[in-house]
């Protein structure tokens, strides 16, 4: 995925990617966010996740470490935080050609649901999404129809990555051991 660099809007460390998604939606940002987990052990080399937005609504997701796009890239991104997040603002026109990559697309509510774990934020995001984004994935009860099978593939892709899950567990165990001493249980 090729994107113009854009204007740096914010650069900070967040513990929960939900906060970034909520902030972008609030401010109706057009541009992209680069997520870099501080837990580099869990990522393959240069792994960074990129999410593009139009008016605050997510459009594409891509992961540089795994070279995957769309829902599987969200699974690649879902590692324990904190994350370093940089937000870049772009004009709509700058994103047009990138946004033609249909294989990198995600349903509008999926990042909030799967990365942020916040169904309410996902609902707000869907409400903010233009009709054609919702109808492109099916009509009717947008939430269920839109997010169903595609989102599930993100969870299942995550669960199929035994190595990453073992890494999450290992990290939690060593954290628990360290903190036991710190907390004087």
Q: Is 176 in the site for other proteins (CB under 8 A)?
A: yes
Q: In angstroms, what CA-CA distances link 3 with 110, 132, 153?
A: 21, 23, 26
Q: Which of residues 47-66 bind other proteins (CB under 8 A)?
A: none
Query: In terms of CB distance, is 130 or 149 closer to other proteins?
Result: 149
Touching other proteins, residues 80-119 (CB under 8 A): 80, 113-119
Quick one: CA torsion of 127, 132, 134, 136, rounded to 10 degrees?
Answer: -170
Q: Which part of the chain contacts other proteins (CB under 8 A), choosing from 20-28, 60-68, 100-108, 147-155? A: 147-155
Of the listed pieces 33-41, 62-70, 75-83, 98-106, which binds other proteins according to CB under 8 A? Answer: 75-83
- Give the C-alpha separation, 144 to 46, whole Å: 35
101 to 38, 70, 74, 97, 145: CA distances (angstroms): 28, 10, 16, 8, 22
SS3 57: strand
**Residues within window 114-143 making contact with other proteins, judged by CB under 8 A:** 114-120, 143
Q: Does the bond joining 82 to the residue before it have cis omega, within 30 degrees of 0?
A: yes
Q: Which residues bind other proteins (CB under 8 A)?
A: 74-75, 78-80, 113-120, 143-145, 147-149, 151-152, 154-156, 158-160, 162, 165, 168-169, 172-173, 175-177, 179-181, 183, 185
């Amino acid at each position: 995925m090729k994107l113009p660099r854009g204007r740096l809007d914010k650069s900070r460390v967040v513990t929960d990617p939900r906060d970034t998604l909520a902030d972008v939606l609030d401010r109706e940002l057009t541009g992209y966010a680069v997520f870099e987990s501080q837990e580099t052990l869990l990522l393959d080399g240069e792994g960074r996740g990129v999410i593009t937005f139009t008016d605050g609504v997510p459009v594409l997701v891509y992961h540089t470490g795994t070279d995957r796009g769309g829902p599987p890239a969200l699974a690649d991104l879902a590692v324990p935080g904190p994350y370093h997040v940089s937000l870049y603002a772009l004009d709509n026109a700058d994103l047009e050609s990138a946004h033609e990559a249909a294989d990198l697309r995600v349903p509008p509510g999926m990042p909030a649901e799967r990365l942020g774990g916040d169904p309410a934020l996902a609902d707000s995001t869907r409400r903010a999404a233009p009709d054609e984004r919702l109808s492109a994935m099916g009509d009717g009860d947008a939430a269920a129809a839109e997010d169903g099978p595609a989102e599930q593939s993100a969870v299942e892709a995550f669960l199929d990555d035994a190595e990453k899950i073992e890494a999450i567990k290992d990290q939690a165990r060593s954290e628990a051991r360290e903190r036991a001493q710190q907390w004087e249980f």
